[in-house]
Structure 1
Amino acid sequence: MTTDSNTETNTPSPNPESHHPEHNPLAIAFRYVRKFLNQTLRIEGNAHPQDTIESIKADIDFQGYNVWILIFSILIASIGLNVNSGAVVIGAMLISPLMGPILGMGLSMGINDWATMKRSLRNFAIMFSVSIITSTIYFSLTPLVDAQSELLARTRPTLLDVFVAFIGGLAGILAANRRIKTNVVPGVAIATALMPPLCTAGYGLATGQWSFFMGAFYLFLINSIFISLATFVIVRFLNFPVKEFVDQVRAKRARRYIVAVILIIVVPSGYTFYNVVTESYFNRRVESFIAENVLYDGAELVKKEVLHEEGKETQINLVFFGEPIPAKIIDSWRSKLGAYNLEGSVLKVVQPQSMDQMNSEEVTKLVDVFSKSQLEIQDKDRTIAELKLALEGERRQHLPLQQIHKELQVMYPRLYSVSMARMVEFTEGATDTLMMAELKWNAPDTNGLDAECKTIGRWLEARLQVDTISVQRKLVMLKPMEVEVKGLKN
């Protein structure tokens, strides 16, 4: 069988449009996502450079009202730090005008406006001086001189503070760039904690603790510089109008100064952050070691502290109060330090035998432990008393009916049987429990039974220790043979 070579086949030809990017589902989805992200995250088209520049410049100067508002806010923040009240400190940061010169420095770097930079630096110095003097005067006069946790938290800046300041600065300049102003700028002042370091620095000067002053001043410097740096980045990113340097050598020198200042600030904070992380990890190992191994019946751990000193072994000091702990027990604790990577540490156990040998913190801890144990004992005593009452009530619920019947039959031979029960009565919204007694008599008539029933009722009230008993009587006529058999059984 032959076929014609010229016959056309039915094989479909490839469609060149099927692989075109416009018809590819992945390409369409990618374009849609890119368009959505561009519309959602784009900020360039919403920038208002001239309005932002004028707004920031208007807040730079510290004169008149701004100075007094700063003084009052510093006093409020100092009181909050002094009494360890975070809410008061936050309130002070909300009303403080600290952000103006800091945003001004970043703006001036971004647009090469060195006249604004000089003005910002001058007002920054005024702001810093007024704040330090105010807080120093307050802490010199206040009778409360103990360093609370709110103060101590501002003495060890780390790399995390750098991140917070930079990110907060980004939020601050973006908020300042909007036509409609929001509460973002005060929020940045709270998040970056500009005011508490100034108050803590004043506390260090007032009390002569230079480590407090240097740590707090360094934290304030970190916050200020990196808020300014964030402002500089956003200003350049949004293409604010820049004043060109006539002298390019001067421009390069200014950039080198900026980089040098950033490195000088970041490197020490990074080192501090590394030390804080290392110390936190070490303290967690110490806590695990104490929780899993340090225990002795009869002695209570009232204090634990870890002492890190440069160039010396780390000390783990444990203070116990109670019975003396044998040396072999303490040696067994020391032998387990290596299992927690604490082999380079020294474990010291202190056991004061009297209150006079303990400091105030240890005594307070001991009092807390004693108070807790006393409360637990009181709870147990209360539970025991409640159980006793419940047991006594249960005993009262059990009626010794057989014994009562025997006792009554000795006094009243005609009494055939005694039936008793408790009845719950509901009257006028309240419930009451009544005792019921039914007396069956082997008698031909009721002659004299009323008086005997009343006497038996009073006797049962005394016998069972109840307030009232309702007594009912019933006659039972028995045959002589039944009476005789009943008498034999009794």
Structure 2
Amino acid sequence: MMNSFFNFIDLHNGEEKREKVLENVISNISFRGSNLWILACAIIIASVGLNVNSTAVIIGAMLISPLMGPIVGAGFALGTYNFPLLKKSMKNLLIATVVSLTVSAFYFYISPFKDVQSELLARTSPNIYDVLIAFFGGLVGIIAITRVEKGNPIPGVAIATALMPPLCTAGFGLATSNYSYFFGAFYLYIINCFFICIATFFVVKYLKYPSVIIDSVYEKRIRYGISALILVMIVPSFYLAYNLFNEKKFIKTAELFIQKEFDNKGYTIVYKKLNYNSSPKSIDLAFLNKKFNPQEIASYNKILVDNGLSDTKFIVRQSSEDVKSEILNEINKNIVNVSAKDIAISKLRQELDGYKISDSTLLYEIKAIYPSVHNISYGKIEEYPKTDSARLSFVLMYSGKMANKEQFKNWLEIRLHEKDVKLIENPKE
């Protein structure tokens, strides 16, 4: 029973020839010519995606990025103690990293839009969850590479491990001299590279790929080195994850406090800002009508401790100028968001209008001129006439006998101002 279970999960089932796997790994390491151009283009695409806050564009850049090659090569080289291959992989990874940082920094330097969007901000504070994503993504990647049937995990690994966005965010940090962004994003990039590499190392060891150099001293050194690096990488990420947990906890507790003390009492809040990173932390509010005297504000600051919000200051904006400026800022932010949604809706409406046939009398005219035709249905469909581009064509399906089909077709083309109308007779009739 146990033997059948282990056979069921054995990674040796469906394994590709090892010479072919090695050849495939080596071929994807080098960054020369086309690979370098593809990388530069992918960096530009990812930078634009971060700039305009488009998740779809960022995913597209991750799919075409060739960055995984030298990272997997380094892990493969470590697993087989192939130091010339490790040297080559690290050299090419360094080239790719420098090129990526240079291209992204140049793009953000010349870009007129330097606002920090949510997609960009998400890459500045890595934590333990990023470690898990990189490690298990790397496992999937190397397992897929060692299979005869590659399947579709590779594109998913490229998206999940997300090597491109952190590099572009680091480039943004360089271009705007925001070094906290640079170090945070570059740390995330190093985490992704390192744990993809380590996952590759473990799978290569598990599959027992032959070592180039069999030396117990080298093997021990590599193991100790990897263990030390894992600790160096994981410890800061645990701290950042703990910090993120505390921030989420603070926001949740603060929201409950606001709901209990103000929302439930009917006070209308026109401005709210919860600042976890200030010292002390702060809850900044402005109300539509309610005014607080200094004694009331002091009492609320005391209540904060009872509600689990120690080291937190309660601030009320009561100056009309302060309230006005904050409300205007919030309105401007909402206008930007609404404008983006309006543009997207407008584009969708334009696309739908291309398919729409707003002619209520057409069906009655057809029945009056061609009474033998019935069960009529019509609309526009996309055609691909031996090219990658599509065109819309009017198609009409009908039942019944028609004496002169060509005359009917010509009439429809003139009536609808369409160049090529397709007539399809219902085969069931």
TM-score, structure 2 as length reference? 0.73
Equivalent residues of 1:337, 1:343 under 8 A apart: yes
1:388-415 C-alpha deviation (Å, 9 max, x unpaired): xxxxxxxxxxxxxxxxxxxxxxxxxxxx
Q: Could you say if the C-alpha distance between residues 249 and 240 of structure 1 is closer, same or farther in structure 2, counting changes exceeding 3 Å?
A: closer
Report the equivalent of 1:398: none
Cα distance in 1 between the residues matched to 2:39 and 2:64: 8
Report the equivalent of 1:43: 11
Cα distance in 2 between the residues matched to 1:131 and 1:239: 34
Report the equivalent of 1:274: 242
Q: Which amino acid aligns with 2:249?
A: Y
1:81-136 C-alpha deviation (Å, 9 max, x unpaired): 00000011001111111100000000000000001000000000011011101100
Is residue 2:56 matched to residue 1:56? no
Equivalent residues of 1:321, 1:352 under 8 A apart: no
Is residue 2:233 matched to residue 1:265? yes
Cα deviation, residue 314, structure 1: 2.0
Q: Which amino acid aligns with 1:343?
A: S
Cα distance in 2 between the residues matched to 1:291 and 1:269: 33
Q: Which amino acid aligns with 2:31?
A: F
Equivalent residues of 1:102, 1:224 under 8 A apart: yes
Q: Could you say if the C-alpha distance between residues 307 and 38 of structure 1 is closer, same or farther in structure 2, counting changes exceeding 3 Å?
A: closer
Size of the alignment, in residue pairs?
334
Cα distance in 2 between the residues matched to 1:266 and 1:322: 50
Is residue 2:311 matched to residue 1:344? yes
SS of structure 1 residue aligned to 2:320: coil
1:54-102 C-alpha deviation (Å, 9 max, x unpaired): 1111100001110000111110110000000001100111111110000
Q: Which amino acid aligns with 2:297?
A: I
Of residues 285, 294, 314 in structure 1, which corresponds to 2:262?
Answer: 294
Cα distance in 1 between the residues matched to 2:33 and 2:307: 60
Of residues 46, 59, 65 in structure 2, which corresponds to 1:90?
Answer: 59
Report the equivalent of 2:217: 249
Cα distance in 1 between the residues matched to 2:334 and 2:116: 23
Cα distance in 2 between the residues matched to 1:356 and 1:279: 26
Kindly name which structure, 1 or 2, has the bigger radius of gyration based on alpha carbons.
1
Report the equivalent of 1:128: 97
Runs of 5+ consecutive residues of structure 1 not aligned to the other structure: 1-30, 372-490
Report the equivalent of 2:128: 159
Report the equivalent of 1:74: 43
Is residue 2:331 matched to residue 1:364? yes
Cα deviation, residue 334, structure 1: 3.0
Q: Could you say if the C-alpha distance between residues 183 and 361 of structure 1 is closer, same or farther in structure 2, counting changes exceeding 3 Å?
A: farther
Report the equivalent of 1:234: 203
Please identify, of 335-344 and 178-187, the stretch whose mean Cα deviation from structure 2 is larger. Answer: 335-344
Report the equivalent of 1:195: 164
Q: Which amino acid aligns with 1:125?
A: L
Cα distance in 2 between the residues matched to 1:179 and 1:110: 20
Q: Could you say if the C-alpha distance between residues 275 and 69 of structure 1 is closer, same or farther in structure 2, counting changes exceeding 3 Å?
A: same
Q: Could you say if the C-alpha distance between residues 321 and 307 of structure 1 is closer, same or farther in structure 2, counting changes exceeding 3 Å?
A: farther
SS of structure 1 residue aligned to 2:32: coil
Cα deviation, residue 283, structure 1: 1.6
Is residue 2:301 matched to residue 1:334? yes
Cα deviation, residue 270, structure 1: 1.2
Equivalent residues of 1:303, 1:365 under 8 A apart: no
SS of structure 2 residue aligned to 1:147: coil
Equivalent residues of 2:317, 2:323 under 8 A apart: no
Cα RMSD (Å)? 2.3
Cα deviation, residue 259, structure 1: 2.0
Alignment of 1:80-479 (within 5 A): 80-245=49-214, 248-295=216-263, 299-309=268-278, 312-354=279-321, 358-359=325-326, 362-364=329-331
Q: Which has the higher contact order (CA 8 A, sep 6+)?
A: 2
Q: Could you say if the C-alpha distance between residues 210 and 367 of structure 1 is closer, same or farther in structure 2, counting changes exceeding 3 Å?
A: closer
Q: Which amino acid aligns with 2:251?
A: N
Equivalent pairs: percent with the same residue? 41
Q: Could you say if the C-alpha distance between residues 135 and 366 of structure 1 is closer, same or farther in structure 2, counting changes exceeding 3 Å?
A: closer
Cα distance in 1 between the residues matched to 2:104 and 2:288: 41
SS of structure 2 residue aligned to 1:342: coil
Equivalent residues of 2:80, 2:211 under 8 A apart: yes
Q: Could you say if the C-alpha distance between residues 324 and 366 of structure 1 is closer, same or farther in structure 2, counting changes exceeding 3 Å?
A: farther
Cα deviation, residue 359, structure 1: 4.1
1:434-490 C-alpha deviation (Å, 9 max, x unpaired): xxxxxxxxxxxxxxxxxxxxxxxxxxxxxxxxxxxxxxxxxxxxxxxxxxxxxxxxx
